[in-house]
Structure 1
Amino acid sequence: MITDHIEDMNRIKRIYAVINGINKAIIRINEKDALMQEICKVITNEGGYLLAWIGVLEPQSGQIKPLYFHGKEEGYLTSIKISNTNSPEGMGPTGRALKSGKHVICHDTATDPLFAPWRDAALARGYRSSISFPIFQEEDRVYAAAIYAGQPYVFEDKEEVDLILSISENISYAMAKIAVDEKLQETTKRLVMLNTAVEHTAASVVITNLEGNIEYVNPAFSRLTGYSYEEAIGKNPRILQTGFTTKEEYTAMWARLSTGNVWSGIFRNKKKNGEFYWEQATISPIKNDNGVVTNYIAVKENITDRKVVEEKLLEEHNFFEQIFDQSISAKILFDQAGQIIRINHKFKEMFEVDGDTMLETSYSVYEDEYCQNNGLSTLIQNIFEEKITVQQEMSIRFEIPGQKREDAVWTKLLVYPIENQEGVVQSVMVEVEDLKALKEAQSRVEAERFFFEQLFMQSHTSMQIFDPEGWTVKINAQLSKLFGVAPENIEGKKHNIFYDQEAIHSGLAAALRKVFDDKIGFEGEFEVDAARATDSSGAVLTNKSKKIYMSVKAFPVFDEEGQLLNVIMEHEDITRRKEDEMKMLQLNADLRDLTNYLQDVREEERKEIAKEIHDELGQNLTVMKMDAIWIAQRLGEGQEDIADRAKNLLKVTDETVLKSRHLYNSLYPQMLNDSGLMDTLHWHAGNYHQITGIRIMVDGVIEESVLDAKTKLALYRAVQESLTNVLRYAKASQVGIELYEADGCINLHIRDN
């Protein structure tokens, strides 16, 4: 009895040692694989069992796969098959334990019929009894443990079995704890990854509470808006509003979010510095484990550059739409089925069709009998296949419902493919030009050309047309007559004005060069000798020797783009006028010489008269004055009447002397010879002031030594005549006379007030 009791005590101590070792391992080890392996080791080492293993049920195959073991295994686990099916391999202790969820004991492996599939392998390794029990479940994976002993009936003691089964509870607790720890670690890892992603993402992330106040913003938000984290927290996102999004749109957004749905849209917001930007926003509700919305998260992408591109593309689209619709050529676009995609206004106008009606029909150019006959259908098909551009003239008419124009139109077609980015022809464009209008325009142009050519050829003025390089393009009949040159000898790259020796010699070529270079017209007169005019090779154009005076007018002609097209030169023969002008000049010179001669004669006569007045009249007046003085001195009392008469005679004599001097100087101012021009003018001004009361100021500096007597006299006479005119007509009280020399000329200015 004492021996049995000691054995029982030892057995219980071993089991408690196993439990204690397993508990220590659970506390020490946080990794599942290591813990499972340690548990198997503790069971065999502390419990004295031969083998302990832990396996998992694979749901797909139903097989139980040993994962961890310790003890005397010797290849046993790799040589056997265990399952939880109804086959013999599933009826063993482990299979039944998993199916029942309870522990199963095999008291003797040698005699237990359900252990037959594994008996030989077990007995070969000394396994005589075993206990199997489920230990824990991990999602859809169920784990079981099996312990093998070296003697039969080891596991018949209920207390030992209960202690062993308590191992299962400890292992389940440990696995649950590890699972929670692993889930927590995974969650923490995911949160760190998520936080890193949010913190480093290029998209703005904003989290608000249910009232819409900001609780979190990521760095991308701060970089985009300019608001720091501290500035944004507690604020409402309305600090970004610009008024672009309407109240109705915000109401619809909150209505969707309040029902737990996600909202997506575009905002045009404003940065802290006032700059506008566009962003694509997706706002989602954040729910807790109970499905209750606690926050809102907005993930927003800056799409400003995309919006700029979209707006640019829209502008370009509208621009090309307008080009298409407002084109002066009729345009029609066909798809691969030959149906009309689009037509422009000019096409509707040319073919008198209703565009909407035309597009709504099932019309196909491939089925149009007229287009089949004239080859347009085939042409369009070829362009789809060969990607070529074709330009040709043809008569076309479209048998389109609602078309009012019944006659065919003779047109010029430009047909070309429209490809997508992959180079696939998506459509074919047909541009139609009505040649009737072109022909009419050409006829009008030809008529105008003929009209102006007749004006040119029949003009009474000789005319010459040059190309931009100076080659004579055309001359009229009057020029041929004037210079005696035939058109065929000068037109068509035969005569260049800049190579013509007479044009160079006369200066005409240099004058025309400015017209060509500066593109401005000019007028001038030139003397040319027709016999010296040469072509581009230097050969004389005519044997007609004739010097001609010409009045020349040249002007440039430009095309629509402002480029020089031609230079037109008009010649007018002014030889007779020039001869008349030279005769007139000679006549004027003769008249001037005659006038000078008559003036000299007149001055000489004045000089002689002045001399006589000075010599004879002066002497007589002097004698008369002396006699009057003598008589006055010898009269006595009672002769007062005679004395008065003598005094009066003396006064009259003085006045006559004064007037004779004035007359003398007027006829010929001797002071010019004696004192010079400036002194004479000063004397004359003073004398004139005494007689008339008009104040005269004389100013000027002149080198009189360079003036001859005639020039001095002419200047004096000019002043004298001007003062006479002032007295007669001006009623002036003041006259200024200025005389000076400048640039080799004598300048005389006389001004009155």
Structure 2
Amino acid sequence: MNVKPGFTQNTGGKQTSSVMYLQQAVNSIDDGLLVCQEDLTVVYANNSLYRIFDLHPVLVVQQSVAQLLFKISNTDLSASLTQAFDEQSSFSIEFEYRQSGTWYIAEVFPFDKGLTIRLRDVTPYREAHEELLKSRRLYAFISEVNELILRANTEEETYASLCDIAIETGGFMMAWIGMPDQTTGKVEPAFKAGTGTDYLTSIKGIALADVPEGRGPSGTAMRKGIPVFCNDIATDPMMAIFRDEGLKRGFRSSIALPLTVDNKPIALLSLYSALPNFFANEEVTLLVQVSKNISYALQAIISEKKRKAAEGQLYKISRAIEQSSASVVITDVNGSIEYVNPAFCKLTGYTEAEAIGQNPNILKTGYTKEDEYKQLWNDISHLKDWHGEFKNKTKYGEVYWESATISPITNKQGEITHYVAVKENITEKKKLEEEQQALVNLIENTTAYVAIGDLEFNLQYANQATKDVLGLTETDISNHISIDEFIPESMDEASRMAVIEQLQKDGKWSGEYRFKSRRGFEIVVWMVTIMHRHKDGSPSHFSATAVDITKAKETEQQLRQLTNELRELSIHLQDLSEIEKKEIARDIHDEMGQQLTALKFDAKWLKRHMEDMPPEVEERLDALIENVNELSSSFRRIHSSLHPNILEDLGLQGSLEWLVSNFTHKTNISVQFDCYIEPHIFPAEINLIVYRVAQECLTNIVRYAQANKVHIVLLVNDNQVELRISDDGVGFNYQQVDTRLHHGLLGMRERLNAANGHLNIATAPGLGTTVEAKIPLTITTN
């Protein structure tokens, strides 16, 4: 008899036999058995316990039962064991013995001297229970998926809910839906749920192609369109490159189920379990059926979506045809009209009822040749589209043009059942084309030069006049010859760049330009160049229109030369006139002045020396003296008008003050004279011009202005003498003044032109007049 330590052996009688029988009975059971005393040290263990847990008696008997159970179950039961003995209460706990993967239940029974502990293998019961739970979860999963199929209206709703159901009801660790992306060549995750979803971002991606990244369950299932499962991620070769990340997140098995529409995988459902060998035949069969049900639902959803889209498209097409501005006509294979849209009725004047059953030849005018109609029927009867133009007539005989496209309509067998014609009214377009052609003819036949070029100034078009004058050929235009070839050396680079800069800035340039013909001569043109732009504002090309002004330039040069000669003659004549006036004034002063003075003195002398003079003689002498005085005044006025010697005596300012004083005395017109020329001294020529202009202005004011006030300003500004004379008179229309009848204005302008000066007259009826004269000078300082 094999007696374990801790048991008292009695050699006598019935007690020994009872213990022996008891030991044999305990050792014969398959369950492990432990007995401990009240200090929780082991006093007995049966053979099954040593065998099951591969233990040696030395490591068991007299050892702490709590420590022994901890080694076996990896669970600290110290407190529970103490409580069981103290309270004389039983308890049990299940645990996995990790060395064998077997599940046991430890049942603790107290007695007054200690505890009895039974360790029973419950793996079969647990597996059966797990299988039962798994089956229940799977059937619940299938039930909820079927409910989802009935209520889901969109693919997105199906996919999102499917992942949630897999986790919450199916008990899977993680579930995701993937979509094939041909652009990236990968199965891209679209929906996911559960724990460890970061697995999808931790791996490099799941490829569609037959490469290592595509040989896992998901890639293979998507590529081949079949379910693929892995029951041991830790060892299965197909999970080699995904294994570490999967195990790190607790995944032990997985299955990938393709979801198909029209026998083509459109998505993938992947499920992950924490248990190895989860996907047995029964589970796989159930999940495959679920995937087929889901595929059927997706097929229905997508078909419904396509149907609605087709209905919507058909409705839009129908509305588009009804509301289209183009005419639409549908005929049977014999050409009998079965449908016309409102645009057809509006254009032709025929109602729908009048058109149905008719042949489209009711619109014929005879313009289109029979050969064209034959070609039309030949094309459409051989399943070709026909494009062309018709010149048709309305119900009321009005002629119009339309562009037509006629196409055959076929059934599924490829047989022609109808013809459809879509026609657009192009009457206005035809008119525009005719107008454009007339414009082209005008441009081609005009003597003006017209050209179009690209942004590099390469010719794209030139009219006949341009070709003729430059010596261009059609080949030159086809080759887009550069306009630079026709720029003469007389055109400097700065002038050319100025044109380009102006075009870029304002989009337009106009002015004189020169070109060189291939025949060697130069032409001068007045050219308008426009920079054209695209809709976005960027430059596209330029156009130029020019007229030949070569002869006009020659005539202009001749006129300019003649004008200069006449101006020089005018200046010379004015100078001669001033010289003659000066000489006449000097002669009159030397001769008449002395004679008048002598006559006045003689008359006064006679009056003093004649005594007892008759009254009538005295009156005659007084009258003579008065006449001599008036004659002297007239003499001084004439002398001054011929040559203002006063300029030499008083200078410009004093002379103008005298002129103003004399003007005011004779006319009673108020004059304000502001002079700001000191300390400047001007040349005699300048003094004379200023004096003559002032003299002429005051003369005109007396004659025409009807003024009450005059304001004269004389100053030096910006190295110019400026004379400004303003009045508050009636004014006049300067543009209507005929200088042939008013020599005073012409004389002022010519005097100023001779000195490189400028005359400006600002006036209008009722607004008075301002005359401004500016004369450049070299100033000398007093």
TM-score, with length taken from structure 2: 0.41
Bigger Cα Rg: 1
- Give the TM-score of the pair, scaled to structure 1: 0.43
